[in-house]
Amino acid sequence: MLDPSPRELTQNPLRKIWLPCRNGHIVQRRVCMTNCPTLIVTVGLPARGKTYISKKLTRYLNWIGVSTKEFNVGQYRRECMKIYKSFEFFSPDNEEGLKVRRQCAMAALNDVREYLSVKGGHVAVFDATNTTRERRATIVKFAEQNGFKVFFVESLCDDKDIIAQNIVQVKLGSPDYIHCNTEEAIEDFMNRIKCYESSYQSLDEILDRDLSYIKIMDVGRRYLVNRVLDHIQSRIVYYLMNIHITPRSIYLCRHGESDLNIKGRIGGDSGLSARGKEFARRLRKFIQEQNIKDLKVWTSQMKRAIQTAECLGVPYEQWKTLNEIDAGVCEEMMYEEIQEHYPLEFALRDQDKYRYRYPKGESYEDLVQRLEPVIMELERQENVLVICHQAVMRCLLAYFLDKTAEELPYLKCSLHTVLKLTPVAYEVESVFLGVDAVNTHRDKPEVRKHKCLSIDMKS
Amino acid sequence: MSNTQRDNGSATSAEAKKTDPRMNEKKCSWASYMTNSPTVIVMIGLPARGKTYMSKKLTRYLNWIGVPTKVFNLGVYRREAVKAYKSYDFFRHDNEEAMKIRKQCALVALHDVKSYLTEEEGQIAVFDATNTTRERRDLIQAFVKENAFKVFFVESVCDDPDVIAANILEVKVSSPDYPERHRERVMDDFLKRIECYKVTYQPLDPDDYDKELSFIKVMNVGRRFLVNRVQDYIQSKIVYYLMNIHVHSHSIYLCRHGESNHNVEGRIGGDSELSPQGKQFAHALRDFIEEHKLSDLKVWTSQLRRTIQTAEELGVPYEQWKILNEIDAGVCEEMTYEMIQKTFPEEFALRDKDKYHYRYPGGESYQDLVQRLEPVIMELEGQGNVLVICHQAVMRCLLAYFLDKSAEDLPYMKCPLHTVLKLTPVAYGCKVEMFYLNVEAVNTHRDRPLGKIPRDSDLIHRRNSYTPLSSHDQVKRPRLYSAGNQPWLPLAPTPTALMPEGRPSQESLCEGIDFDSSEVNTGCVRF
């Protein structure tokens, strides 16, 4: 039915988004990427990287704004069983074991249902072996009953070295093996895998032709993709096809201190100060010392970042999309000036720094959308140094360290400090290069009660 | 962008690459920096499997995002060599005479590929042929290795007889091979032609023979894909693109917001409201949608007031995209062109020199806009019927993608207010219908300035870039022959013969209809 009465537009003061309203009330309109929730189901023998993929995918989807949560059945089992004795638990003849495992799967699915139907989640990742057709059929039925779409992610790997490496890296530290030595743990785990092997039914070209899935083979050397149904599945496939597990390091830093930094002004396109130039020189020394293989260097297209990169004496790529957040009318102002000239804007920003959009500028939320291709390419690459800006670096860091939208705008990204990220383990090493610089960080202010600032945060 | 010779046809080309200034140059084009070596995309598949469709679409997309790409269709070369096609007998695998000719054509085509990639600043060449035998593919691989190119195979496998029959009717019946266009006879001969290829068809074998190759196998029009050993960024983008395109029928409607208050004042940018005429247009748009009975129409707007106000009148749900916002004119926002010329005369002149690459100070360029709009294009490919209510520069970029316009033409495309363009994919291209909704509006179009403006070095490059080429450029290029070899094919090919599948050149199709002219067209334009 077509809506008869005309609606006025009113701009949400925080997000600067125009919304229709009638009689002064904002008329809600839900716009989301996924129409119905999606259930991602992992498939594969133990030590095939299912949990690695689940966690990474969950982190990525949350970062781009799709509420996602993973449900690891192994954890449910550990809660239920309290103590892990041996691989015998997983033996296909162990009736008791089978019962417990089925219960755990059901409990997890229940939580999935609550997350997707009640709590408003968009995507749930059901992380378990799901190696039999029977188990998968149960899940498909469950999804159909609840109106969820299902997408399977199967990981196949026969490379003994990779499997051994997985076990050493991840399983030895598991709570299951806390009381075992290394040899015992490995032997037990190999036996555990054997328990699943006999009943393993891989996704089949004919029998499973109506399912939507991706088969990842040999850690990404080859993919088989079947019946991608919608946009979110297509994005998931693209992401999964771009990630890899080759060890590498990502270095994040800001440009050297700039002239506007010294003046305490935000934004703009100024050049490096004397200290900033010193930092650039130290940065060059630093990366030479690190002796990084095939390092790629990326910068934004702002003078201060390019000047920093120039000093390194190596080829670099400029990305406009790495430019600092656009502060719109507040460009080149000091925070004091903003508070004086735009007190409402200043207050709004402190209320919800992630979603707050500068007038005629951007928000952190906009920044994340803009930076998504950078993240995708960082996933594809190996050793990279990204010379960027405070807000940009916060967004990138939040992706790697799985920070929420609330935490993101307050992450500490000081000048003249290089962060070295080693993915897989997600260790962060912070290296201060010994050149003083101004502090550009503003902490989250304490909550002050203002009656007049009642903004509906959800609109 | 300098282009040193990379072709010395030996292993030392790898050495040469290390000192190639192009490698050390600060490549700023966001899409093109990823490809260091040029890539040859090799299509594989029986006839009527959509190879040419995919080749052309992929080429159009890659050129639009700034990666110079060109299609080399073997059928065109064959039609050159063998003036009159008689029957499917030519394609029998035991027809030695014909086999010789076909192989020679392949060699000439590969030679042209080499020229394009080494001398003409091409980045990607799409070799569109059946390439169904291992022998042929080994030949191509040797060629690629010799020239230090990368290679990526795209195989299309389809066993659905309905799809194949539909393909034949859609594109083969009008091929120059069948001038009489008698449907049954074409169908009959073409099916026999396919049988000739089937005898020797060796599909890619991912488990053994071809497991080291980089390729994507597209099965049954995209229901299923097998992807093997993607090497780099551009291959990953190609895979993503091929996985998102569809062949089902849908229409995309593009229009601008209704006339705004700023439009009336001649101001650019800003975030003003609709003028009374603009509101009228919104009503007319609502009637238009009702008239056309568009089921499940998705409506997209930008986050600027004028598009949202337009959409509000339609009374249907719509989605706001920030990336559909109009080009950011930076310091020139909300000025009139006269004011810009007065306040920033240099900037004003620079913009006319190279409107595509020119970036407003503190703002954007058309090139930036293309990068920004790429996710929109990807989504449009995957959707059904969509109405996009956007802005002049944005609409030009989107239109340039669908109509394969070059960077030179893009910023001067006519996108008047109060006019809806309906785009429907047809055969290898796109049909455009223009609907002027009969509500007056100001004209916001600025024509290309007259006279040849020299593209010299004082143009401030806020960044370097490739100039995208549109794929229909290729018909104008003369073909090169290997040094020392006498060209055994006639020297001056006729334009029609060079067009893949003998489709008449786009020039003649548009006879009498000038898309960029100053009169508003209401006719149907077939591109």
pLDDT for A121 beyond 60: yes
Beta carbons of B224 and A377 less than 8 Å apart: no
Average the pLDDT over each of A162-166, B82-86, B359-363 and give the range with the smallest value: B82-86
Beta carbons of B316 and A2 less than 8 Å apart: yes
From the list A7, A29, A241, which residue is nearest B227 (CB)? A241
Mean pLDDT value across residues B436-455: 81
Which tokens belong to B168? 């034949």
Beta carbons of B224 and A366 less than 8 Å apart: no
Mean pLDDT value across residues B222-247: 93
Query: Taking the domains of chain A in order of start, what are their residue ranges?
Result: 38-241, 250-432
Could you tell me which CATH number the domain at B252-436 has? 3.40.50.1240
Q: Residue A308 belongs to what H/E stretch?
A: helix A303-310
Beta carbons of A9 and B24 less than 8 Å apart: no
- Catalytic-residue membership of A324: yes
Interface check for A228 against chain B (CB to CB < 8 A): the answer is yes
Beta carbons of A32 and B345 less than 8 angstroms apart:
no
pLDDT digits (tens, 9 = 90+) for A162-218: 898 888 887 777 888 888 888 888 889 999 999 999 999 999 999 999 999 999 999
Mean pLDDT value across residues B376-387: 91
3.20.20.70, 3.40.50.2300, 3.40.50.300, 3.90.1150.10: which CATH number matches A38-241? Answer: 3.40.50.300
Beta carbons of A258 and A270 less than 8 angstroms apart:
yes
pLDDT digits (tens, 9 = 90+) for B103-112: 999 999 999 9
| Cα within 13 Å of Cα(B74), Cβ side | 20
Q: Give the per-residue pLDDT at B325.
A: 97
Helix (H, G, I), strand (E, B) or coil at A341: helix
Beta carbons of B24 and A315 less than 8 Å apart: yes
Beta carbons of A222 and B316 less than 8 Å apart: no
Average the pLDDT over each of A171-180, B238-247, B484-493 and give the range with the smallest value: B484-493
**Please, which residues bridge with residue A334 across strands?**
A265
Helix (H, G, I), strand (E, B) or coil at B90: helix
Interface check for A22 against chain B (CB to CB < 8 A): the answer is no
Q: Which residues of B touch A380 (CB under 8 A)?
A: 233, 236
pLDDT for B30 beyond 80: no
Q: From the CA of A219, how many Å to the nearest CA of chain B?
A: 11
Q: Which bin fits B345, alpha (ψ -120 to 50), beta or left (φ > 0)? A: alpha
Q: Give the per-residue pLDDT at B485.
A: 31
Percent of chain B with pLDDT over 70: 78
Q: How far apart are CA B302 and CA A17, in angstroms?
A: 10
The closest of A78, A87, A73, A165 to A127, measured between CA atoms, is: A73
From the list A9, A237, A318, which residue is nearest B463 (CB)? A318
User: Would the CATH topology of A38-241 be identical to that of A250-432?
Assistant: yes
B142 band by pLDDT with thresholds 50, 70 and 90: very high
Helix (H, G, I), strand (E, B) or coil at A154: strand
Q: From the CA of B227, how many Å to the nearest CA of chain A?
A: 5
Q: Does domain B36-244 bear CATH number 3.40.50.300? A: yes
Beta carbons of B379 and A222 less than 8 Å apart: no
* Residue B258 known to bind ligand: yes
Q: Is A200 exposed, middle or buried (0-12, 13-18, 19+ CB in 10 A)?
A: middle
From the list B206, B233, B305, which residue is nearest A377 (CB)? B233
The chain-wide mean pLDDT, for chain B, equals: 80
pLDDT for B66 beyond 50: yes
Mean pLDDT value across residues B370-381: 94
Which tokens belong to A350? 């402190």
Q: How far apart are CA B194 and CA B196, in angstroms?
A: 5
Q: How far apart are CA B11 and CA A421, in angstroms?
A: 37
Q: How far apart are CA A448 and CA A351, in angstroms?
A: 10
Beta-carbon neighbour count of residue A432 at 10 Å?
12
Average the pLDDT over each of B261-270, B445-454, B457-466 and give the range with the smallest value: B457-466
- Give the best residue of B239, B283, B290 to mutate against chain A (max A CB count within 10 A): B239
The chain-wide mean pLDDT, for chain A, equals: 89
Mean pLDDT value across residues A427-435: 79
Query: Taking the domains of chain B in order of start, what are their residue ranges?
Result: 36-244, 252-436
pLDDT digits (tens, 9 = 90+) for B489-519: 333 333 333 333 333 333 332 233 333 333 3
Q: Which residues of A touch B269 (CB under 8 A)?
A: none
Q: What are φ and ψ of residue A423, in 5° steps?
A: -65, 175
Within B416-494, strands assigned E span 419-426, 429-436
* b/e per residue A286-315 (b: at least 16 CB within 10 A): bbeebebeebbbbbbbbbbbbbbbebbeee
H helix runs in B183-331, sequence order: 183-200, 233-244, 261-265, 276-292, 305-312
Within A243-401, strands assigned E span 250-254, 296-299, 317-318, 384-388
Beta carbons of B243 and A231 less than 8 Å apart: no
pLDDT for A391 beyond 80: yes
Rg (CA), chain B: 24
ipTM of the complex: 0.87
The closest of B352, B339, B371 to B269, measured between CA atoms, is: B339
Q: Does domain A250-432 bear CATH number 2.20.25.90? A: no
pLDDT digits (tens, 9 = 90+) for A398-417: 999 999 999 999 999 999 99
Size of interface A-B (CB pairs under 8 A): 101
- Give the best residue of A218, A225, A303 to mutate against chain B (max B CB count within 10 A): A225
Interface check for B223 against chain A (CB to CB < 8 A): the answer is yes
Residue of B nearest to A357 (CA): B322
Q: Give the per-residue pLDDT at B506.
A: 35
Average the pLDDT over each of A134-143, A438-447, B103-112, B485-494 and give the range with the smallest value: B485-494
Residue of A nearest to B289 (CA): A2
pLDDT for B81 beyond 50: yes
* Residue B446 known to bind ligand: no
The closest of A251, A201, A279, A242 to A437, measured between CA atoms, is: A279
Q: Which residues of B touch A377 (CB under 8 A)?
A: 34, 233
Q: Give the per-residue pLDDT at B172.
A: 80
Residue of B nearest to A215 (CA): B226
* Residue B325 known to bind ligand: no
